[in-house]
Every structure is written in C-alpha cells, then in structure tokens.
Amino acid sequence: MNAHASRLPLLALAIAAFAIGTTEFVIMGLLPEVARDLGVDIPAAGLLVSGYALGVAIGAPLLAAATAKMERKRALLLLLGVFILGNALCAVAPTYNMLMVARVVAAFCHGSFFGIGAVVAAHLVPANQRARAISLMFAGLTLANVLGVPFGTILGQWAGWRSTFWAVTALGVIAAVAVVRFVPSLPNLKAPHMGREMRVMREPQVLMALLMTVLGFGGVFTVFTYIAPILQEQAGISAHATGAVLVLFGLGTTIGNMLGGRLADWRLMPSLAAILAVLAVVMVIFAWTMHNTLAAIVTVFVWGIVSFATVAPLQLRVVHVSGDAPNLASTMNIAAFNLGNAAGAWIGGMVIAGGYGLPAVSLAGAAVAVAGLLVTLGSAAIDRRHTRATVATECA
C-alpha cells in the first residue's frame, strides 16, 4: 500500500475517533442545558459522564471477547453501528433515565474500537511507520477536544442539546461509510490469544498500571466534568463564551498529548511522576484562580496541557508491563481511563452535593491526582527492586 493509499483508511479511523471523543466529552459543556431541560440538578447531570465511562469500562472486555474472532473491518463496523444507535437514542431520550441508558449504549463500543483500530492502523503501514499510524488515528480523539467539544457545545446552546447528539450521530454514519469505502479487509490478521491475554491481566504491575490510569485521569475529570458551571459561576464567563474557553483547553490538550509522548519516550516513569505532581499543583492553583476571569482562562489552558500529557505515558506503561500480550491490557487501559472519568465525576458531584463549593472540587481533583502519584512511585520502586535483583542474580 503506497503512502497516499494508506492515509485514507487512517483518516477513516480518525473520523470515527473524532466522533467517539466528541460524544464522550461534549456533555461537560452542556450540563446546565441538559439539567435544566430534564429537570435534574448539576450533580445528577454530571452522572451522565459517569454512566458513559462505566459503559466503556463494562463494554471493553465484553466486546473485546465478542469480536475476538471476527474479521477486523467487520468488527469495526459492528462497533460503529452500536455507536450510531446509542447517540440516536441520546438525541430522542425523553427522560433523564432514558438518556443515561442511551449514553451507556453509545459507550459500549468505545474501548474495543480504539483497541481494534490501533491494531488495524499498525497493519496498514510498514513496520517503521506503525507508531505514527496509531498516532494519526488517535489525532481524531485529540481534535475532538479542540473542535468537536467546543463546537458541539456552541451548537447545543444555540439549537438545543439534542441537536449536538444528532450531529454526532451523523458523524458516526460518515465514519462508517469511510470505513466501508477505505479500510481494507484483513482476513490474515490474527486475533489475540485470549488465554495469554487474560493471564497477563493478573500481573501485579499491570494492575498497578491500570490503577495509575484510573487515579491519574480521575483527578482530571473530578474537575473537568463540572468545567461549565465553574467557568460560568466562578469565573463570570458567559454560557456562549464557555465554548471558546473549551477551544483553548483543547489546544492545551493537543500540546500536552505531544509533550507527554516525547517525555514517555525519554524517561517513562520519572516523567509520569513529575506530570502527576504538576497536575496536582495546577488544580490546587485553579481553586484560587477560578475566581478571576483572565486567571481562570490561563489556568484552564495550562491545565489542558498537563492533563493530557498523562495520556501517552499511562498507555505506554500498560503496554510495557504487559510484555508480549498487550492487546487486552491496552483495551482495558482505555476502560481504566473511563473508570477514572466516572469516579472523578462522582467525586466532584459529591463535593458539590455536600455544599463545599466549586473551588473544593478542584482541591478534590488534586487529591485524586496525588493518589495516582503515590501508586506511580510505588510501581517505580518495584521496578527498581526487580532490576537490582536481576543484576545481583546475573553477577552471582
């Protein structure tokens, strides 16, 4: 496959990643509108983030097993069908409970799609270009934060939050058509050996890596879930200007994603520990700066950089410690990101419901990030002990 031809299937996968990322994150910018329309409070609306994240966490292993023996292109199309159905149900949901169910349905495809999509992307290009191919697919997820979330927020505020979900449904259809047209069938691509993959999931360092992801990203979503009310009620930013601030956050995530990848290639665990420490500090600062419009906007941009600088190191850590059976572990780490999202949304909601105020939400997020830092330091210490024991054995 020549260079031009290989870009078209990767672009199709990136469009799907863009749609999936948009539907996951756009709800944060629409919490006030959804809460008002469905007659629930902000913490209850925030649980729609938790519902999606739990759908990812539950759906990832189930659909990974269900699609393990399917041809990879057919599996991708099945997962996109689930995505389209779930978002159409979101658009027509008459009640809060129905919207919650629809969000869970839409989320079921998430983990498996990215797991299978990464494998497909890697097999569409020569071996020396595989990392770049996977990065191109995941660029769709990054662009969802830069473009999909803010413009989805603006659309929802202008034409009603249901219009955003109809737009995402249409994106899903476009992605499915692109996959049908441009992604080749890969009948010779072997499915993972599920027995070996399951055994790796019992390794202590794999479990610690997944916990690092849950806590590290859980700290981010403790705050990000409630970013719209924080910006509007604390920083004095209008509902319509919230989308513009989210564009700035998205630009920060793009920078952070690239920075985190470079740092992970340089020195993985020290870089990850440092990023989590800085993340905690930034969220402590945000509890103070959110009261000033300009300071809040600057902090949100910096916070976007630091927040998404964690993504590549956390994903690489799981792949590294899972050895020659990384497929299920990599998919489960996508679930771990979303379990962190769910836990963070719940923690932030509990802080608000307890009457502690929105600044306390940022402090709670910092505490969760510190917990992730402690697990990271513990995992790194185990690595060092294992290295010393290996050296001692070789010397003997």
DSSP string, 250-261: HHHHHHHHHHHH
Per-residue pLDDT tens digits of the chain, which is 396 residues long: 545 556 889 899 999 999 998 998 888 788 889 999 999 988 888 888 888 888 888 888 888 778 877 888 998 999 999 999 999 999 999 999 999 999 999 998 888 888 788 778 877 877 666 656 776 787 788 788 778 888 898 899 899 999 999 999 999 999 999 999 998 887 766 556 667 777 888 889 999 999 999 999 999 989 988 998 999 999 999 888 887 888 888 889 888 877 887 787 788 899 999 999 999 999 999 999 999 999 999 999 999 999 988 887 887 788 778 776 666 787 788 888 878 888 898 999 999 999 999 999 999 999 999 999 999 999 999 988 877 766 666 665
- Spatial distance between the Cα atoms of 121 and 143, rounded to a whole number of angstroms: 18
Residue 282's contacts (CB-CB under 8 Å, 6 or more residues apart) are 299, 302, 303, 306
Q: Which amino acid is at 233?
A: E
CB 106 within 8 A of CB 23: yes
pLDDT tens per residue, range 114-138: 878 877 887 787 766 665 677 678 7
CB 210 within 8 A of CB 332: yes
Q: What distances in angstroms separate CA 116 from CA 78, 169, 178, 189, 338, one per listed residue?
A: 12, 21, 16, 11, 17
Tokens of 327: 């497929």
Biggest CA-to-CA distance, the chain: 72
pLDDT at 191: 59
- Spatial distance between the Cα atoms of 153 and 29, rounded to a whole number of angstroms: 5
CB 8 within 8 A of CB 18: no
User: Please, how many CA atoms are within 13 Å of residue 248, restricted to the half-sphere of its CB?
Assistant: 16
Place of tokens 């779930």: 86
Give all domains of the chain, ordered by start, each with its CATH number. Answer: 1-191 (1.20.1250.20), 194-396 (1.20.1250.20)
CB 257 within 8 A of CB 311: yes
Q: What distances in angstroms separate CA 143 from CA 94, 223, 244, 308, one per listed residue?
A: 30, 21, 15, 12
Per DSSP, 237 falls in state -
DSSP string, 64-122: HHHTTTS-HHHHHHHHHHHHHHHHHHHHH--SHHHHHHHHHHHHTTHHHHHHHHHHHHH
Residue 289's contacts (CB-CB under 8 Å, 6 or more residues apart) are 295, 296, 298, 299
Residue 304's contacts (CB-CB under 8 Å, 6 or more residues apart) are 145, 248, 249, 250, 251, 252, 253, 255, 256
Q: Return the SS3 of 291.
A: coil
Give the global pTM: 0.77
